[in-house]
Structure 1
Amino acid sequence: MADDVSTNNVLILAPVGRDAGACARLVEQAGLVPRVCEDVSGLIVELDREADVVLITEEALYGKALDPLAAWVRAQPPWSDLPFIVLTNHNEGARFTAFRRDLVGKLRNIAFLERPMQAISLQAAVLTAERGRARQYEARAYLSAQQQTAEELERLVARRTAALEQANERIRAESEQRERAQAALLQAQKIETIGQLVGGVAHDFNNLLMAIMGNLDLLARRIGDDPRKTRLLEGAMEGARRGATLTQRLLAFARRQELQSRATDVRALVEGMIGLIKGSVGPMIELKIMAPEGTPTVDIDPNQLEMALLNLAVNARDAMPSGGTLTMALDHQKVAEADTTLAPGDYVRLSVQDTGEGMDSETLARAIEPFFSTKGVGKGTGLGLSMVHGLADQSGGTFRLHSWQGVGTTAELWLPVAGRAAESSAQPHVSRAVAPSATILLVDDDTLIAASTMALLEDLGHRVVEAHSGKEALAILSDGLNPDLVITDHAMPGMTGLDLAVAVRARNPTLPILLATGYAELQGELSIELPRLAKPFTQEQLSTEIARLLPIAPFKW
């Protein structure tokens, strides 16, 4: 029954007399193909091949085991209902009535023809049954087409569903990425806003410290040998120095500190700090260094990097009160595509990993904020990680922090590869020839700072002319002052120190100019290189810088 059209096959089961031959001839005359079966078992075998109609005499079934035939009928597919034509005799009685009723129940699609009959009656019954079977084949073909259509529809639906799932997954991933980018942007904006505020406060604080340290420096030379006064003065100076350190950390966070970047061998720097780090973390913490040879040099201020590593090591120590392992590792990383924190290029990743208590997600999210600390009162300023973050960002890299509660914390400094050999950290020799005292034009808009700096300079034996703005300084120069040196602040209203330097150089290209500033806010404004003195500075630092610029003997300490 594999074809979709009728095969015209008629199975005949008439084992008694000449009925089988007679039926076969009538079937052939009707244009159909007869196939005679010997018994019920042979009929079932032929049914498994193919048949359109079954023609059976009543006596071929009476008294026979019909369960196998009934099982075949029940096993037909849903579209199939094979027609049976049973030729009966004039047998009457309850037994034959029950037998025929049983046949109807077992063979289902059954028609009875009573013998004797005309040939045309048999042929008409067989042809009618064959046409009914042909409609079943059509139903099979229709159901098959419907099934194929349904399967194809299911495949299309499955394919479309998979495509929609992939699209939804991409949308979800893009949404998550956008949310992360927005969160990173908001965090960056928040940090940037805090940085601007902190940078401004630190700059003002530097000015205050400049006045305090300058006056304390001068006072130290006038108190004599009184131990109590010396002790009090030294305490005040130590407080001022701590304040200066604090402002440097604030400026590092705000990315406005004065960096002396150069090509630095980080591997040599880390190995050179092993003794200092071991002394800082104590004997309960095992220190491991993983620094392979051939690590590229990076552009960084080595002094600031040393401070950053020391801060990270101390933080790791505090996270491991019962001891643990501190691992410092270096590796070379390539960034192919820009992300929210790094441009494409080569980087050296310096990681500091501890096996301490770790941080939860809320603490981790705020870890680099200034003044945020999980340490007890008096045990930290909350600026260590902020300073490290600012240093990395200002150096063209980034700072990443990973932490898991009960596992530990990993801090990563990503620093851009320098692409050149490490530069020597040795300080250049300073010529200190003896010369008469100099005439210095001092420019600072803050009268308190100007007075303090002027006192330091006069104490060094110099003649000082004071100006409180760039315009006032230019006016003094126009009136005929011919100074040996100009010392100017940078952040002044109306005209910055750089603007003043450009105007002065236009008049006198050889006049030395020293820029005294609290942070590196002048970077990128004008293409002019000036020596700088970072505020707050001491009289010794001031004298040394003047000696670099002028052939003047420094103050004898």
Structure 2
Amino acid sequence: MAFGNHTLSREGAVSYDRERLGVLLKKLPIALCATLLNSSVMAAVLWPVAPKAQLLAWVVLQYLLSAGRLAVASLRFGNAAPSIRSAKAFAFFGSLLSGSLWGIGVAYFPPNLPQYELFAAFLVAGMCAGNITTSSSYFPSAIAFIVTAGIPLAVRFFATGGAPQLAMSALTIVFCGFLSVIAYAANRQFRQSHDLRSALVTRNSELSEANKSLEDEIASHARTETALRHAQKMEAIGQVGSSLAHDFNNILMVVGTMTDVLNREDLAATAKQKALSTIRESVKQGKAITHQLLSFARQQPLYPETVDLQELIARIEPVLIATLGPAIRLETSCAKDLWPAFIDPDQFERALINLAVNARDAMPAGGAMRIGATNAALSEGAVGDKQDDAVAVVVSDNGAGMTPEILSKAVQPFFTTKPSGQGTGLGLSQVYGMVTQSGGKVEITSEAGSGTLVRMILPRARS
């Protein structure tokens, strides 16, 4: 279906026809009321001068036609979606018959007197103008009424032959043409309004589908992320279980062997003491592994207190220097107005020692390890908020560093890149567990070949 510069699809044409015919049928009672009112007025004005029988018959026909159109509209199209073809036929022929009755009435009944001819002209002009309001949604119906109601009056004026009548004939034709243009413009505007509404409905449907698709993608992504986290968790559990089994199996083997040695009757006293010492060391090793695991899992009991970090770092400095060895120099710096931290001092010392061991192993050819402490905030941009005040301890080295893949697993317990027997893989996990259990945060940055930086953000002690 084509209209103006637009072409509608079959579905769009059906939707457009249904809407415009539906609007016309809804306005039909208004048009019929106007017809009955104006036909009664015309009969009253012309009753003294027109043939009464014919005029009465004309009024009766108007009433019968109006009642018939209203009845068909109610019974045929009122309760269900109308057939497009039958609705078009009903609208067109109804307007055609109504306009024809008006054309016959105004052409036949008024006498050849100016006042009655002008009355008839104004009356039919008003009916044609009102028809645009009620029928412009369906252009053929509007044109059918305008032509059949207006042209007979123009023909009557023309047939009379007088100069005024000829002018009235021309004006009637021009007026009908002008009303036809208005009806066409109104119909076009209705079509554009329909197109906009249809486009809006289509766009809303597309947006709804896109939103549903996006929700499905988000849900799928969430399921994939959950599955990935579960897989990573199972991988970490597997690594922990394997390493725990290996370490505790070694401890049990030592304890078992030393127990067999102690069962020998001829065992010398010195050998017995040595065996007992070995068993004690193995038990200490198992206890240390258990404590570090609990620290990572944030189950290790902590005993926090107000700690002067500058004093603590100075006190443990000799131990760190001995751990690092002669090839690695230790540099420390603390802010003069450094706040005290609220932490477990023993666990914090162990964390520094673990970081020193990692730095030593990362710099076999020598280098430098730096420890710095400054005031900070638990949340970015919150310095000065006493509820958020913190102390940042930064430990860095210029060793081998870590690749992104290794860095992503660095705090997992028992994860290590060191050769077997040279590391437990619990150093960074203990650091992570101690800091997070204390209410702080750990930030690790590293790049292969450029060293590693560990930033421990610790809560400030409250005075």
Q: TM-score range by the shorter chain?
A: 0.3 to 0.5
More helix by share: 2
Q: TM-score, normalised by structure 1?
A: 0.37
More strand by share: 1
Q: TM-score, normalised by structure 2?
A: 0.42
